[in-house]
Structure 1
Amino acid sequence: MVEERIREVFARAGAEGLLHAVPVVGRPQAEEGAEVAVGADEPVVIASVFKVLLVLEFARQVAAGQLDPRERVRVTAADRLGGWGTAGCADDVELSLRDLAFFAISVSDNSAADLLLARVGLDTVRLLAGELGLDRTRIVGGPRDVLESMLAEVGARDEAEFALRYPALPDERKRRLSVLDPARTNSSTPREITGLLRLIWRDEAGPAAACAQVRELMARQVFRHRLVSGFPDEVTVGAKTGTLPGLHMEAGVVGYPDGSRYAVSVFARTRELAASRPAVDAAIGATARIAVDFLRSKGV
């Protein structure tokens, strides 16, 4: 069975994996309801995959004339969270709202995402999830909320103190952090994430212009080590990664030259609480390919 093959690939990489794959635009002989599901309805931490929903809400507000995408924002030292993009800059940066959206998706810039969330509103992002029927998707806050919860739980006053305390914690204590618990942080299910992507790719998640903007930004993501690694060069991938200690994930849509499109979401958990696991990243691409190949073999 295809599900067993997927589980075996993750097991060889030292991980447990959940996956959902479904056609977005199938071939003419597509079978209605076709899917590949491995734990597709289990709750999962979505980490930075949440930024897809955030940027979709931003794009909808721009399309509705509620926001000017050219509005300028200054990213200061107080806004920096570390990592990619403006989050790791040494000096203040000024850019537009639409460039915040670009950085939030393309390089998973946490500071950009936080500032964008402050502008569009946390409540509106939550309302959007409900409007789209994502009943099991839970949004508690942005990257700064995640960081502050980690600092509080470890008893650190700032990131520097956290960096000193965290490595000394036993793994059992680390695993109890709220950021790794779907019941206490941003979470969803693999099925709901592919459902969100299908709506975006079908122009059903809002105005066509808003959906197109999200698709274009996801196609510009710079990270190529997960979903992209499983597919040949002629296949396009628009996706968003997410990473936390012991959690590796990516959700996206793969497109073939024949016009067919498939939404795939993959969530992997490892025993070791490391943020970098190349074998697991490769397994995400390999299992996505297995799932999509299965759907295509059935004429979907």
Structure 2
Amino acid sequence: MSVAARAAGADQVRTALSYTFAQAGVEGFVHARDLDTGAEFGHRADSRVVLASVFKIPIVLEYARQAAAGRLDRAGRHTVTAAYRAGGSATDGCSYDVEMSARDLAFMMMTISDNAATDLLLDVVGIDRVRKTLDELGFAGFGVSSSRALDDDIRRELGFAPGSSIDDQLTGISDERLLALGVSDPERSPSSTPRQVTALLAAIWRDEAGPTEACAEVRGIMSQQVWQHRLVAGFPEAGVRIAGKTGTDFAVRNEAGVVEFPDGKRYAVGVFLRTSSAAGRQPIADRAIGRAARAVIDHLRSRQ
């Protein structure tokens, strides 16, 4: 393909992305990379974006690295107590204490984005260890936090009582106030850039982020994510495999993951949206993530 043809193709993709994001009423930030050739394509890929639960990727990586090194027992038992539960999905919404292995905490954190499991696992592996590993791998700017800390910030900003249920008190709070919360601001919440996120995924998929055993465990867990409404929406074909992690907050809709085609080609992709609504259900924005990912990956595949 000639240089001129590639430039024209890139312009077409950027136009398509702009249209997709405008139709969904969102700001969009995208990056994709071919895991075998290193070819890349991005749209606002070096802007800092709120990660939301995408920050759980380095937590599961640290868990897997410690397990592979023999410093952490995968089968070791840990209890999700009321101190970790804030309401939500999986153990976060359980009425009573739940005991499970370290491995299963990682599984719940990544497959269903269980915040209580996340915070307990983060206590087990140590947030300082997560940050040290990110620094050593060259991802010093990649944000990480506990879910509790983010929830505490929301309570303080909205004037809710410490430890109270956030969801039960949101009725009547305006979109304007919710969209202005610190959790939706990359300067005040765990953040990174789309390019950095796909670089971390590439390191995991190439066994460069730790021992082969650890990287393989992370890939296996991420391949079992239950959410089928974002990246998956752009790749409905049989035989296409997707491993990903979503991230959601009031003004945030994200997903980052790896798309593998039957021909063996693999692409890391991250799509990060800032929405104009704080509504919990935003199917048009969710579908825009799949469409954007498809557009950039199809562009990379056309350049082969």
Q: TM-score range by the shorter chain?
A: over 0.9
1:134 aligns with 2:131: no
User: 2: CA distance between counterparts of 1:211 and 1:162?
Assistant: 35
- Alpha-carbon deviation of 1:3? 1.4
Q: Is the counterpart of residue 239 in structure 1 residue 244 in structure 2?
A: yes
Q: Note closer, same or farther for the CA distance 1:282–1:161 as it changes in structure 2 (3 Å cut).
A: closer
Q: CA deviation at 1:128?
A: 1.4
CA contact (8 A) 1:193 1:265 kept: yes
Decide which of 198, 206, 220 is 1:194's aligned counterpart. Answer: 198
SS of match in other structure, 2:19: helix
Q: Which amino acid aligns with 1:152?
A: R
Deviation at 1:183, TM superposition (A): 1.2
Is the 2:77–2:99 Cα contact (8 Å) retained in structure 1?
yes
How far the C-alpha of 1:36 sits from its partner, in A, is 1.5
Give the 3-state SS of the residue equivalent to 1:74 in structure 2. strand
Partner of 2:303: 298
Alignment correspondent of 1:79: 84
- Name the counterpart of 1:213: 217
Distance, in Å, in 2 between the alignment partners of 1:136 and 1:174 is: 26
Q: Counterpart of 2:149 in 1: which secondary structure?
A: helix
User: What is the identity, as a one-letter code, of the residue corresponding to 1:218?
Assistant: M
Q: How does 1:27-106 map to 2 (within 5 A)?
A: 34-106=39-111
Q: Specify the code of the residue in structure 1 equivalent to 2:224.
A: R
251, 263, 266: which one aligns with 1:258: 263
**How many residues end up aligned between the 2 structures?**
292
Q: SS of the residue aligned with 1:77?
A: coil
**Structure 2 counterpart of 1:22:** 33
Q: Does 1:230 align with 2:234?
A: yes
Residues of 2 paired with 1:151 and 1:174: CA distance? 11
TM-score normalised over the length of structure 2 = 0.92
**2:181 paired residue among 174, 177, 183:** 177
For residue 107 of structure 1, what is the amino acid of its counterpart?
I
**TM-score normalised to structure 1 length:** 0.93
2:18 is aligned to 7
Distance 2:186 2:45 in 1: 14
CA contact 1:60–1:207 (8 Å) conserved in 2: yes
Preserved CA contact (<8 Å) 1:110 1:143: yes
Is this contact kept in 2: 1:84–1:107, CA < 8 A? yes
Offset of residue 158 of structure 1:
4.6
Q: Percent identity?
A: 49
Instruction: Report the Cα offset of residue 160 of structure 1.
Output: 4.9
**Which amino acid letter does the alignment assign opposite residue 188 of structure 1?**
S
Deviations 1:79-130 (A, max 9, x none): 2122111111122111100000000001000000000000111111111111
CA distance in 2: counterparts of 1:219 and 1:162, whole angstroms: 30
Q: CA deviation at 1:166?
A: 3.5
- Whole-angstrom distance in 2 between the partners of 1:52 and 1:162: 25
For residues 295 and 222 of structure 1, what CA distance do their matches in structure 2 show?
A: 27
Query: Matches of 2:60 and 2:266 in 1, distance apart?
Result: 21
Partner of 1:29: none
User: In the TM superposition, what is the alpha-carbon distance from 1:216 to its structure 2 partner?
Assistant: 0.2
Q: Does 1:145 align with 2:146?
A: no
For residues 161 and 298 of structure 1, the distance between their equivalents in structure 2, rounded to whole angstroms, comes to 50
Aligned to 1:30: none
Q: What do residues 34-57 of structure 1 show as CA deviations (whole Å, max 9, x unaligned)?
A: 221110000011011111100000
Is 1:106–1:218's contact at 8 Å kept on the other side of the alignment? Answer: yes
Q: Are the aligned partners of 1:25 and 1:260 in contact in 2 as well (CA < 8 Å)?
A: yes
Partners of 2:241 and 2:88 in 1: CA distance: 26
Q: Which runs of 4+ in 1 moved over 2 A?
A: 158-176
Paired with 1:76 and 1:135, the residues of 2 have a C-alpha distance of 32
- Tell me, in whole angstroms, the C-alpha distance in 1 between the residues paired with 2:142 and 2:280: 24
Distance in structure 1 (CA, Å) of the matches to 2:228 and 2:168: 31
Query: What CA distance in whole angstroms lies between the structure 2 residues aligned with 1:263 and 1:217?
Result: 16
